């Protein structure tokens, strides 16, 4: 009996040793997909997701993505972010033409980066528990949680290649390095700057200084060509253009990039603190995390890039973990009797996991919503909007508001109300009270202003209510050919009974 128990225990440990990393990837990929999809189904997503949903409409129709939403307004979407690599998602979207496909792909492609981090840690540290602790920190890092639960973004997709690029460098798979860098650079125009940083690393460490000297000017030249030539040439109606007018080599500016804001200092503190500040011992590799901060902190007119939120810290995730592994490798070399022993590695693994969990709780990171009942609750107005969407023809020219846009963006023409109202077939709006102001971004400054504009529109008789489910309205242009059967206001079990005048 004892012998059988030992055999079973040994087999379990072998299975754990073999498959634990895949279980972690599957678990966190599923969790992040679930959170992102739930937010989408609860109308808590917006512009960034809508842009790429509409892009997929064009790709699946074998057309270039002339996205009509802000900020391109009908220009090629590459004028906003240079992202031709998005075309690689077309086969997946053919399998399931649904925005949830993008959210699932984003989550699993990104968290798959835990595997090369695990392999790298296992080779360098020769301890299975510690090797698993590092990908656990990666999978719970705020630079992973926020990007994977915030809409969909090409920056997040570009960042998902970082873990694999450095793993390929470590294994000296130079063709793979080049291929991954090319694909990643095709997702977002700032990725070539990270490729340049990797090139400097190759030169400084002499891992492959010849490739480094080739990739460095090519990546910088590509970044310049894309941002200063190609993107501006595509921007005819676009609301924004790329500029480096703020950049200078003056010492006071370079100092200010990192130290002129408490937000920047806090972001760096949290980024390094999440991995116990080990990257500071990583030697030349440290230039890569600081290259990330420089790219994001250098523009004084874009403070939105400075904090820990949204998708901006995605690039730092794998860099911090690789830096931490290299930092501990340095300690093992310097003090092998202290840091190279199994006990020290187990203690460090426990500290890393505990620290990651503390960061998750203290920073109220997105994974915490899984424990909140309100996150799962579907309010009645959500069902009302779902009912309205069923009545919108697939080929209709639609105007809507920010949080409704992703659900109806898979079409050729979609704009934020009231833009291009003279061309619209339908207007899809939600009038339920006490909405967050972000729902009316680019439409109105307040909900009161938004309601007043809808009142004025109906009073003009140019549009009528063609379908209504409580506060969710579908307005259609007053034309006999386009009018749909009007459904009077009704009250369903569990739904809001508040009547409006839009009937």
Which residues have C-beta within 8 Å of that of residue 344, sequence separation ≥ 6? 338
Cis preceding-peptide flag for 77 (omega within 30 of 0)? no
pLDDT band for position 487 (cuts 50, 70, 90): very low
Question: What DSSP state is assigned to residue 214?
Answer: H
**What region does 206 belong to: left with phi over 0, alpha with psi -120 to 50, or beta?**
left
Model confidence at 231: pLDDT above 50: yes
* Per-residue model confidence (pLDDT) at position 185: 97
pLDDT digits (tens, 9 = 90+) for 359-379: 999 999 999 999 999 999 989
Domain boundaries, the chain: 2-371, 380-477
Angle between helices 191-205 and 174-185 (to 10 degrees): 160
Q: What is the mean pLDDT of residues 140-146?
A: 97
* Per-residue model confidence (pLDDT) at position 241: 63
* Per-residue model confidence (pLDDT) at position 253: 85
Model confidence at 2: pLDDT above 70: no
pLDDT digits (tens, 9 = 90+) for 381-419: 999 999 999 999 999 999 999 999 999 999 999 999 999
Q: Could you give phi then psi for residue 426, rounded to 5 degrees?
A: -135, 155
pLDDT digits (tens, 9 = 90+) for 301-332: 888 899 999 899 999 999 999 999 999 999 99
Q: What is the mean pLDDT of residues 213-237?
A: 93
For the stretch 202-223, what's the b/e string if a residue is b when 16 or more beta carbons lie within 10 angstroms of its beta carbon?
bbeeebbeebbeebbebbeebb
* Per-residue model confidence (pLDDT) at position 284: 96
| Virtual torsion, Cα 7, 9, 11, 17, nearest 10 deg | -150
Alpha-carbon gap, residue 164 to 186, rounded angstroms: 16
pLDDT digits (tens, 9 = 90+) for 12-70: 666 666 799 999 999 999 999 999 999 999 999 999 999 999 999 999 999 999 999 99
Model confidence at 501: pLDDT above 50: no
**What region does 197 belong to: left with phi over 0, alpha with psi -120 to 50, or beta?**
alpha
Model confidence at 252: pLDDT above 90: no
More confident call, 200 vs 310: 200
The tokens describing 452, both together, are 């007043």
Q: Could you give phi then psi for residue 189, rounded to 5 degrees?
A: -70, -15
Least confident of 1-10, 115-124, 196-205, 243-252: 1-10
* Per-residue model confidence (pLDDT) at position 5: 66
């Amino acid at each position: 009996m004892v012998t059988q128990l030992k055999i079973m225990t040994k087999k379990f440990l072998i299975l754990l040793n073999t498959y634990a990393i895949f279980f972690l990837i599957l678990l966190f990929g599923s969790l992040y997909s679930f959170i992102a999809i739930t937010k989408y189904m609860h109308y808590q997503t917006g512009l960034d997701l809508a842009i790429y949903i509409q892009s997929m409409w064009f790709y699946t129709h074998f057309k270039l993505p002339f996205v009509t939403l802000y900020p391109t307004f009908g220009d090629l979407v590459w004028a906003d972010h240079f992202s031709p690599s998005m075309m690689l998602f077309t086969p997946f979207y053919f399998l399931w033409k649904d925005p949830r496909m993008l959210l699932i792909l984003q989550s699993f492609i990104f968290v798959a980066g835990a595997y090369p981090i695990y392999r790298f840690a296992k080779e360098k540290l020769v301890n299975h528990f510690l090797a698993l602790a590092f990908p656990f920190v990666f999978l719970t890092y705020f630079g992973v949680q926020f990007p994977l639960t915030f809409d969909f973004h090409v920056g997040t997709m570009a960042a998902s290649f970082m873990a694999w690029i450095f793993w390929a460098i470590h294994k000296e798979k130079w063709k793979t390095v080049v291929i991954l860098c090319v694909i990643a650079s095709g997702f977002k125009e700032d990725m070539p700057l990270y490729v340049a940083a990797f090139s400097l690393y190759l030169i400084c460490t002499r891992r492959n200084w010849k490739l480094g000297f080739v990739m460095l000017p090519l990546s910088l030249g590509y970044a310049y060509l894309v941002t200063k030539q190609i993107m501006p040439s595509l921007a005819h109606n676009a609301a924004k253009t790329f500029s480096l007018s703020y950049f200078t080599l003056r010492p006071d500016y370079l100092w200010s990039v990192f130290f002129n804001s408490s937000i920047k200092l806090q972001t760096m503190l949290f980024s390094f603190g999440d991995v116990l500040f080990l990257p500071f011992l990583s030697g030349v590799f440290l230039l890569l995390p600081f290259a990330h901060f420089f790219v994001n902190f250098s523009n004084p007119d874009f403070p939105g890039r400075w904090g820990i939120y949204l998708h901006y810290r995605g690039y730092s995730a794998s860099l911090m973990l690789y830096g931490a592994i290299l930092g501990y490798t340095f300690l093992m070399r310097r003090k092998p009797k202290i840091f190279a022993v199994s006990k020290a590695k187990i203690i460090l693994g426990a500290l890393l996991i505990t620290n990651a969990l503390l960061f998750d709780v203290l920073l109220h990171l997105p994974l915490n919503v899984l424990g909140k009942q309100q996150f799962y609750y579907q309010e009645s107005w959500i069902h009302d909007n779902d009912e309205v969407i069923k009545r919108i023809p697939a080929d209709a020219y639609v105007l809507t508001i920010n949080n409704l846009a992703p659900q109806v963006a898979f079409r050729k023409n979609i704009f934020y109300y009231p833009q291009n109202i003279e061309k619209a077939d339908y207007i899809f709006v939600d009038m339920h009270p006490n909405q967050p102001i972000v729902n009316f971004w680019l439409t109105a400054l307040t909900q009161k202003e938004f309601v007043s504009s809808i009142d004025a529109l109906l009073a003009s008789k140019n549009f009528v209510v063609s379908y209504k489910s409580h506060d969710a309205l579908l307005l259609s242009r007053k034309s006999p050919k386009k009018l749909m059967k009007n459904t009077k206001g009704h009250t369903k079990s569990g739904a809001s009974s508040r009547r409006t005048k839009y009937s």
